[in-house]
Chains A and B, each alone.
Chain A
Amino acid sequence: MGIPLDQILVQTVNGLVSGMILALVASGLTLIFGIMDVVNFAHGDLLMLGAYTGSGVFLTTGNFWAALVVAVIVIGVLGAAIQVTALRPLLGRDPLTTILATFGMSLVIQNYALWQWGPSARNITEPIGGQFTLFYLEYPFYRILIALLSGAIIGGLWLFMKYGTYGIWIRATTQDRVMASAMGIPVPTVHAVVFAIGAGMAAASGVLFAPLVGVTQTIGIDFTLRAFVVVVVGGMGNLGGSILASIFVSLLESYASLFVSPAQAVIVSFVVLVITLLFRPTGLFVPTPK
């Protein structure tokens, strides 16, 4: 084939980095889906809104970390508000109605962003500059930092779900909503909190991603579409599966971009989806159901 080893290694690093970002986007989506059976069509829009909020904070404070924290909180609260107003009334109805409702919210947010911020891009500067030499390439440290931060946020979510009181409440609510409320767990609040966490994670991905591409209305679209693929490939609602699938798909895309243009490399993830549907419709990275 004649692809030099160093190119393959560079693409491996690239794939792992974008895999971690994708995993962050997908885990917010998976969380909301796994727990409430709601596919959040507005996830990418919350990501975008998070990036804009972050850029606003960055403009006034000049501090990346303040931008990250404020964006997560603001979008988290917004997520909870969306859940309470648009989704709570749909509880107990056909789950398809929730897709429609979040789709409607997505329209509103998209056009609000266009109206509020216009078409020109905004910037957030990365908190650490500098690069290191990776074979023939000057590789920015910030990319590595994104991957690590994404990993840290996902890890934090996992610990929270595993050991935190609210994590236990959330899992109990997922399994048996009625019994959870009989145990005194405030189920409506739990749902709002789950949505807030998912929205906050979307915002975090938006802010982390912003220094790489600039903040525009389309910042979330590529990642959201791939996040949907990953969520299906990983076994819907399965957090670990989504993360593995994110890395798997991103690595494949990275390697594919050695041969085709990046725009076409996206198709790789779609091919993975088709293959998954064909052979393991329950997801590639989950144990075979008995």
Chain B
Amino acid sequence: MTSRTGPSPAYWIGFAVVVGLLAVVPLGLPEFWRRFVTEILIWGLLAMSLDILIGYTGMVSFGHSAFFGLGMYGAAAALLTVRPPSLWLAILYGLVAAGLVAMFVAYFSTRLRDIYFAITTLVFSQIFYVIIFTWTEVTGGENGLAFSQPPFSIPGLVSARFTSTTLHWFVLAVVALSYLTLRRITQSPFGMVLQSIRENEPRTRAIGYPVERYKIVAVMLSGLFAGLAGVLYAVQNRFAAPDFVFFLISGEVVIFTVLGGMGTLVGPVVGAASFFMLREVLSRYFTQYYLIPVGIIFVLMVIFMPRGLLGVFRRRLNA
């Protein structure tokens, strides 16, 4: 067990430097690349939320698109029905939608382990996909829902429209805070129990922990942060579409997590960044078929480098 002395000063310096760089760098970038970096942060948050399950609890979810997508549609609901549109309400609605779905999925799928869990999460995400895709009157069906971007507002203080730079800062702040929260959770006694489930589930149960309840909470927690990523994505892109509920999104997020290093929290963000970078580079040679080399790289990583890019630093990263 780790002693709770808190993070070292070196950790905080590193954290501040990385966040500072991420805040400053986009200023020097053209619009396209600025959005690119913002998007990486959002996908990174989604992958980070998945890491709670894959990396810390040992459960591979192939259904994170459902939580992400419901976050998007929740935000859409708030932005389309409530006047004037409120950013905070969008976040609230998105979290509630994703949280409810996560509760539902968690309740059923945690009855199964390992591969069975992976399949049921996949199947559940498809249920939501079909519902959203066919329920045209409410969800806009195939076309999804479009809406305008809410302003950033603190009642009585400020209310300003987002520019691509201020949106980037906002996303960065949310992602950084989420990271700190998740990191805190993984190092709490609760997080320790999750890791002990990953290492040896029967033993954890034998010691007397209600493993199922821990797993349900883990899935819900993960779903909430995935939903938060969905809200950010909806706000950035001003739409919600069924494509983002489809299981291919879940698959991509699994790739981010494995690529970057499971069980590291920051690894998945790095994974998302490397994935998009790979995509930019490889699509020059392979055009839209860049997933062929990406798939091969992914399989090779699974075989030869199962701990991912940052896996080597697993211990030191969050110290």
Residues of A within 8 A of B (CB): 33, 37, 39, 86, 89-90, 93-97, 99-101, 103-108, 110-112, 114-115, 225, 228-229, 231-232, 236, 261, 263-264, 266-267, 270, 273-274, 277-278, 281
A104 pairs with B302, CB closer than 8 A = yes
Question: Given that A107-B251, A281-B112 are contacting pairs, would A225 and B123 also be in contact in the complex, using a CB cutoff of 8 Å?
Answer: yes
Q: How far is the CB of A204 from chain B (nearest CB, A)?
A: 23
Given contacts A99-B118, A229-B123, 13 further A-B contacts (CB under 8 A): A33-B115, A90-B302, A96-B115, A100-B60, A103-B251, A103-B298, A108-B292, A232-B119, A261-B134, A266-B130, A277-B108, A277-B109, A281-B111
B60 pairs with A96, CB closer than 8 A = yes
B302 pairs with A107, CB closer than 8 A = no
A37 pairs with B292, CB closer than 8 A = no
Docked CA distance A277–B120 (Å): 9
Chain B residues with CB under 8 A of A111? 289-292, 295
Docked CA distance A112–B58 (Å): 31
For A96, give its contact among B58, B133, B134, B299 (CB under 8 Å): B58
Give me the 6 closest cross-chain CB pairs, A-B, nearest first. Answer: A107-B295, A108-B295, A104-B299, A104-B298, A270-B127, A111-B291
Does B303 make an interface contact (CB < 8 A)? yes
B130 pairs with A86, CB closer than 8 A = no
Chain B residues with CB under 8 A of A264? 130, 134
Chain B residues with CB under 8 A of A99? 60, 62, 115, 118
A37 pairs with B115, CB closer than 8 A = yes
Docked CA distance A101–B115 (Å): 13
* Beta-carbon nearest neighbor of A37 in chain B: B115
Does B126 make an interface contact (CB < 8 A)? yes
A267 pairs with B127, CB closer than 8 A = yes
Does B209 make an interface contact (CB < 8 A)? no
B289 pairs with A267, CB closer than 8 A = no
B130 pairs with A39, CB closer than 8 A = no
A39 pairs with B119, CB closer than 8 A = yes
Contact flags B274-296 to A (C-beta < 8 A → 1, else 0): 00000000000000111110111
Chain A residues with CB under 8 A of B131? 267
Name the residue among B108, B111, B115, B298 with the largest chain A CB count within 10 angstroms: B115
Does B272 make an interface contact (CB < 8 A)? no
A104 pairs with B115, CB closer than 8 A = no
B108 pairs with A274, CB closer than 8 A = yes
Name the residue among B123, B288, B299 with the largest chain A CB count within 10 angstroms: B299
Chain A residues with CB under 8 A of B109? 277
A108 pairs with B303, CB closer than 8 A = no
Docked CA distance A111–B252 (Å): 14
B119 pairs with A108, CB closer than 8 A = no
Docked CA distance A278–B112 (Å): 11
Interface pairs (9), CB distance under 8 Å: A39-B115, A39-B119, A90-B303, A95-B114, A99-B115, A108-B295, A225-B126, A263-B130, A267-B130
Question: Given that A86-B299, A108-B296 are contacting pairs, would A96 and B118 also be in contact in the complex, using a CB cutoff of 8 Å?
Answer: yes
Chain A residues with CB under 8 A of B290? 111
Chain A residues with CB under 8 A of B299? 86, 101, 104-105, 108
Does B90 make an interface contact (CB < 8 A)? no
Chain B residues with CB under 8 A of A273? 120, 123
Docked CA distance A273–B116 (Å): 12
Chain A residues with CB under 8 A of B295? 104-108, 111
Docked CA distance A26–B131 (Å): 24
Does B254 make an interface contact (CB < 8 A)? yes
* Beta-carbon nearest neighbor of A107 in chain B: B295
Does B122 make an interface contact (CB < 8 A)? yes
Chain A residues with CB under 8 A of B120? 232, 273, 277
Does B306 make an interface contact (CB < 8 A)? yes
* Beta-carbon nearest neighbor of B126 in chain A: A225
Q: How far is the CB of A241 from chain B (nearest CB, A)?
A: 14
B115 pairs with A97, CB closer than 8 A = no
Chain B residues with CB under 8 A of A110? 291
Chain B residues with CB under 8 A of A90? 302-303
Name the residue among B62, B108, B255, B302 with the largest chain A CB count within 10 angstroms: B302
